[in-house]
Amino acid sequence: MITGGEGSDRIFAKGGDDILTIDGWDNLNYIDGGEGTDVLIIEGDDPVSLSLSDLNVEIVTGNAGDNIFSYEGTSSIVIESEGGSNDDILNGGEGDDTMTGGEGNDIFVYDTLNDSTITNPDIITDFEVGKDKIDLSRVSINDFNQLTIEQNNQQTSIYSTVNDSNFLVNLEGNIGLSQDNFIFLITFGIASNNVKHTLDIDGNRIIEQQDHNLRNIYYSRFNKTEFDFLINNNPNDLIGENATRADANSIFNYFDEMDSLLDIDGNNLIEPQDHNLINLYASGLDVIEFGFLIENFSNDLIGANATRNDASSIFAYFETIVL
């Protein structure tokens, strides 16, 4: 067992099966579990956002904070976030992963249809109807009707053959599922070959040319931080890598003008169910003073000196269309 304690830690475990314990996480920590089956335990109650791909560990147990764990590798990994009742986001990547969200409202995210398959299915051990959700918005699954649900006394299986895939996720227990237990890709009836993510400016639930010539968020499906705002189809009006607040100011006047809020569900009303309101804050005297507020967490603002990585957290909340 290796214990990092408080402060920034650098841990190299080398060979063997190791248990690595650290108190919280910051960007100065470095962990390499080495060979064997290694367990990383994160203690404390501060929120943790962590990519597990470079840690070389096989089992991760989160703390009591709001944890975001993602893994981009193809090996199997066990992700547990059982330390408290907060809301966690878990993404196991490819491989047959085991994920436990613990108490709270947890989201289990899938980036591709290959992340969990019939041959290598994930297991979610504690999915709770009415609290937890499975996010399929990134894998081109638009509706509950594109899923097949099979249940027995011990397990609930979620299948999909969209795009000739063999997608399968297993939930422990016999669980009755509905559309409300998932986050799907929202699509609109405009056809083309490219998937882009666009705001319905006037709130009529139709993306039209008069919607200020479309303000599009370009997005790579393989790297969620790769996106830009496109204003009036002018490639010089992009907010890309190392974007600043001054760059972002150029898009302000194109958003819904009703209290500077975005109408997410397109019913021309700003309501709490609009993903808990994604607010574009703007001072009436200085339109440069604004930031995006995600789910009412004040630390999720994109304001002064915002970067592309900061902005990536808002992607999943925007309307999605096929152009």
For residues 113 and 182, what is the distance between their CA atoms, to the nearest angstrom?
Answer: 15
Domains and CATH numbers, the chain: 2-183 (2.150.10.10), 195-322 (no CATH)
Q: Are strands 30-32 and 10-12 parallel, antiparallel or unpaired?
A: parallel
What's the pLDDT score for residue 107? 85
Spatial CB neighbours of 180, under 8 Å, sequence gap ≥ 6: none
Residues 43-70 have pLDDT tens digits of 666 666 666 656 666 576 665 555 666 6
Which of 161-165, 232-236, 266-270 shows the lowest per-residue confidence on average (mean pLDDT)? 232-236
Find the Cα–Cα–Cα–Cα dihedral 228, 229, 232, 234, rounded to 10°: -30
What's the pLDDT score for residue 181? 92
This prediction has a pTM of 0.50
Structure tokens at 243: 């974007």
For residues 79 and 95, what is the distance between their CA atoms, to the nearest angstrom?
Answer: 12
Residues 20-34 have pLDDT tens digits of 666 655 544 556 555
- Evaluate if residue 71 carries a pLDDT over 60: yes
Q: Band of the pLDDT at 157, cuts 50, 70, 90? A: very high
